[in-house]
A and B are shown apart, each in its own frame.
Chain A
């Protein structure tokens, strides 16, 4: 009995050591490049070098132009086609001049380095949905998907502004997803948002309800970024002559007051949060971001950049 007891004691003593000793160390060999995780190798071409010089090096932005369905977000269910190789530089050169440069002038060069999306994905066609088309999408402040790139023409004012509106709209989402705008904004048009039926409201009707577009009616975030992006892209003059003029004819709500209060929140937000003057200072003459963007748009329409 005593022998048995000693054996048991001996085994109990060494058992934990046995388990701790029986281990397997897995080391991944240094030269092992796991397929699919290291990216696909392509021979760099002229466009690759140009994108590196204009976006990757100065802003740490990757511009994905080669078709990759996994980059298309929820667009993967719809049929899309890749961008034209020859359309990449004209589009991105124009975007650099009308999107990045005005922000650089109004906010300093570090602003876009800090906040620009780290990935811009280009696709050639728009995304079709039951008679409507989608032109772009932002994703978590990290990525902007730009669709319809094959139809981009910088000389066509409406086409240029449409593309610019897409990127500035999506970029504005990144701004408020980084630091939220004042909560008072959502109270201004409370009760008039229509997340499911905004498509059935014409723009002119939306103006008279205190919105800058019908899409702005789809929710407070969209309302905010539509105010910010449409005024930047189409200009304060357009805002005054089109939106405010229509709003003044409203008999339903005080649309003028609603739009004025929304613009005030936008201006304050841009100034206090990001240190950017949104509109020109009428007293000192200091230019605002809106002026820089309008000047850039007019320059690009007259002389589209090729490099």
Chain B
């Protein structure tokens, strides 16, 4: 009898354990899938529902590019671009496809060739990039957030920043009339032969408009300390300029520049005030404060196209190089310290072999004076010339040698009133013969 109790207990235990069988239905009620699809649908609805389209800023290796886009809910998008390297595209709409995809993150994909693809194109002649990598930017963007009708996004490959906000009816009208490129041209050409500045209290602030960046600089109240920055800018179809980061001017925040269509002038937005931009023949910041040994810019590069007149010994020699060496002669000067810590000047010319452009670099001892506004160049030497191009240049250019030209001369530096593709230029001037100038874009 007792044995039967044990058997009964065992069978009961079996039923108890077997009762744990259960069926789990994976329906993920309002699951990831449902939520993702709802989000995608809402994003497409938001994109297609903007009555005046969107202004889109995309970071590249060449600064922020700006696009205007109008989306429809059938996966098409019509774009306008501010890509001034393709002037024929000004105010020309281009239709392509897009979608919002659920990849690792929800992604806005521009999935057929668009104006965004142009700046990504591996053909350097199309994108303006190098190394067949376009402008190191993206055309697929992870959506980080949508707040107050502003999409904040990150490129999937190069992780570039991108932002998209609803455009106003005035902005749309301006875009359709070529406002994107016209605004950029307006900035590039704005008093290009002058130096812009504004005065806040007793501080003069230099403002240099480049293609997509603004160089801002002022000298502190001690009369010596230089405060400067190159700030990326969004140049709007209204011609207004928004700085991507504000610049501090003696405790006040410079956020951008307002365009007056009536006056055809910019004014600076500093704190809650506006300051008219003045323009003078001389910059309020001497060039040597920015360019030279151990300064913000240490290199200056010139091209044949930057000197069209043959009015000095130096230019004549540059032209001689270009006619003998390359179709697009390029030369650059750089101020650096050698391995022992001594200042040297490097002069590089690019020899075109027909296939490659090979840089040939000469080094010179350098005496740089304390003020930094003049320097004296010593003897040239070269020690890394595996193909013998330096020797070849010396022989070829005997009597005209720009390599020997620099030796034992003293130079000053100054701004140039010339510009190159919207970039302000500087110039190196032979002290005893000011006609001899080396103009260039500085880096």
Contact = CB atoms under 8 A, between A and B. Distances in A.
Contacts of A6: 3, 6
Nearest to A68: B111
Contact of A81 (B25, B28, B97, B122): B122
Contact of A82 (B23, B117, B122, B156): B117
A14 B13 contact: yes
Scoring B7, B97, B112, B117 by chain A CB atoms within 10 A of each residue's CB, the highest score goes to B112
B14 A17 contact: yes
Interface string B1-38: 01100110111011001101111111110011100110
Residue of A17, A81, A87 with highest tally of chain B CB at under 10 A = A81
B99 interface: yes
Interface in A1-47: 3, 6-7, 10-11, 13-14, 17-18, 21-29, 31-36, 40, 42-43, 45
B100 to A, nearest CB: 8
Contact of A14 (B11, B25, B33): B11
B129 to A, nearest CB: 9
Interface in B94-129: 95-97, 99, 101-103, 109-114, 117, 120-123
Interface string B189-228: 0000000000000000000000000000000000000000
A45 B76 contact: yes
B109 to A, nearest CB: 6
Nearest to B22: A24
A258 interface: no
A28 B26 contact: yes
Q: Does more than half of chain A's interface fall in helix, strand or loop, or is it mixed?
A: loop
Given A40-B101, A42-B99, A81-B117, A10 B18 contact: no
Contacts of A69: 140, 156
Given A32-B28, A40-B102, A67-B112, A45 B75 contact: yes
Interface string A55-77: 00000000001111100000000
A212 B74 CA distance: 48
A85 B96 CA distance: 6
Interface residues of B, number: 53
Nearest to B109: A67
A221 interface: no
B260 interface: no
Contacts of A172: none
B36 A35 contact: yes
Given A43-B74, A67-B112, A32 B26 contact: yes
A42 B98 CA distance: 9
B73 interface: yes
A66 B109 CA distance: 9
Given A14-B10, A79-B120, A22 B26 contact: no
A66 B102 CA distance: 15
B132 A128 contact: yes
A8 B430 CA distance: 107
A80 interface: yes
B111 A67 contact: yes
B99 A66 contact: yes
A40 B74 CA distance: 13
Contacts of A13: 10
B54 interface: no
B111 A66 contact: yes
Contacts of B26: 26-29, 32
B237 interface: no
Interface string B351-387: 0000000000000000000000000000000000000
A31 B31 CA distance: 11
A65 B3 CA distance: 76
Given A14-B13, A125-B123, A128-B132, A27 B25 contact: yes
Contacts of B67: none
B133 interface: yes
A22 B117 contact: no
Contacts of A117: none
B95 A85 contact: yes
Contacts of A18: 13-14, 17-18
A229 to B, nearest CB: 26
A78 interface: yes
A124 interface: yes
A45 B75 CA distance: 9
B27 A31 contact: yes
A291 interface: no
B113 A150 contact: yes
5 contacts: A3-B6, A24-B21, A29-B27, A43-B74, A66-B109
Given A33-B33, A82-B110, 8 more contacts: A29-B27, A32-B28, A34-B33, A42-B75, A65-B112, A67-B140, A85-B112, A88-B112
